[in-house]
Amino acid sequence: MEPVKIGSLFKSGSVYNGPVQIIDPASNVNGAVIRTATYIGGPSSFVTTGTSAPKDASDTTKPVILASNQDRAVLPYPVAIPAGFGLWVVPNSTAKIYITYDLL
């Protein structure tokens, strides 16, 4: 097994109800790679991407990168995000997110 490189940028800490922006689509001009991600919190929460923020935790119109149906979830492998896409955490309650990423 090869080691996973952590990203040079990160978000570590608490997130609350509603979409919480991690990457602004306008700042993602060449694409991004999510290197590592761990979510700790309530079920029915997710990390999503797209050109605009999801409305809430029931918005199924955005690509989901990581979903939690229990109290924690871990991204199993790095994920490439296209240029112009953002990244949001959508907790259904107070949670913690630990994400490392690189803007290309």
Domain ranges for the chain: 9-103
Task: Report d(CA 6, CA 63) in Å as an integer.
Answer: 22
Q: Which residue has the higher pLDDT, 1 or 30?
A: 30
H-state helical runs in the chain: none
What 3-state class would DSSP assign to 16? coil
User: In 3D, which of 63, 72, 58, 70 has the Cα closest to residue 34?
Assistant: 63
> What's the confidence (pLDDT) of residue 59?
80
| CATH 2.60.120 assigned to 9-103 | yes
At 1, the pLDDT band (50, 70, 90 cuts) reads: low
What 3-state class would DSSP assign to 26? helix
Q: What is the mean pLDDT of residues 17-42?
A: 91
Task: Report d(CA 12, CA 96) in Å as an integer.
Answer: 7
